[in-house]
Amino acid sequence: MEIIMRNLCFLLTLVATLLLPGRLIAAALPQDEKLITGQLDNGLRYMIYPHAQPKDQVNLWLQIHTGSLQEEDNERGVAHFVEHMMFNGTKTWPGNKVIETFESMGLRFGRDVNAYTSYDETVYQVSLPTTQKQNLQQVMAIFSEWSNAATFEKLEVDAERGVITEEWRAHQDAKWRTSQARRPFLLANTRNLDREPIGLMDTVATVTPAQLRQFYQRWYQPNNMTFIVVGDIDSKEALALIKDNLSKLPANKAAENRVWPTKAENHLRFNIINDKENRVNGIALYYRLPMVQVNDEQSFIEQAEWSMLVQLFNQRLQERIQSGELKTISGGTARSVKIAPDYQSLFFRVNARGDN
């Protein structure tokens, strides 16, 4: 107990010495002259940023501004399920043809093609060479069908249930159990607590193609999307690709994303988490802070100060461990994590050495 208290005192002291106030300047942030932004007539927003490195390579993102937070109680896991189904059939590319088409271009899932669902967004990403114009055009056509023409065939939906269940099962380890034990502690008074993106396996097992389609049609609408192009590509060419492939999407309106404000907590809470398979003992401090909306110089500097704090903590901790000054500590880390649309957690952790 004495060693644990020494480690806790060290952690508190180190964090306190790094929490230094800074001067904030209120002024609008200038926009990079190379960045092109706009909106199509159907409501879809776009961003184009020409970048010469890596040469002859472009990254494309389709961002749906909706994630698991917008799910109803009987839809927990549907946003993530819909994301999976984009790779399991569209009007032009039925079944596994989307994946086969990417593979025929030499693109690999995970390396060049990927997608994820979070609490407040669903994002699809493809990276490919700009020298292969025909492939680039075909990828844009796939993005168009992801936006409006997914099919949700029953055979494909039923097959994907097992894929998602296995994805969930693969994470059932000590690290996952510790994370689950922390959730009620860290996410108290937030909707995030009951809307983990992977969802409920009961929902995954029983959701119907019609329910998936309803969620898709409710949120996958142009006014709820942003298309992003970054890479070694001419901005006029990129804009032409966007207009040719995405301007014809019907201008239907998505449902309005609801907001659930987080109830602030101004008191100290503690929790002890035990797991017989967890071989690392540690102490962590979490500070819940309002999310900084970076829209001017003042907020930019404030966010930069938090980033510097995290880097300084990590650097100073490693220096003192390597010097042998902290004999009871084997490692640690600091980072900032978004825990709700309006709140973030500043996280500091130190790990005890051996059985300390």
Active site residues: 83
Long-range contacts of 295-300 (CB under 8 A, 24+ apart): 295/29, 296/26, 296/27, 296/28, 296/29, 297/24, 297/25, 297/26, 297/27, 297/28, 297/29, 298/24, 298/25, 298/26, 298/27, 300/29
Q: What is the DSSP string of 84-111?
A: HHTTS-BSSS-TTHHHHHHHHTT--BTT
Where are the extended beta strands (E) located within the chain?
36-39, 45-50, 57-64, 113-117, 122-129, 225-231, 282-290, 329-340, 343-352
Name 221's Cβ contacts closer than 8 Å, sequence gap at least 6: 43, 252, 253, 254
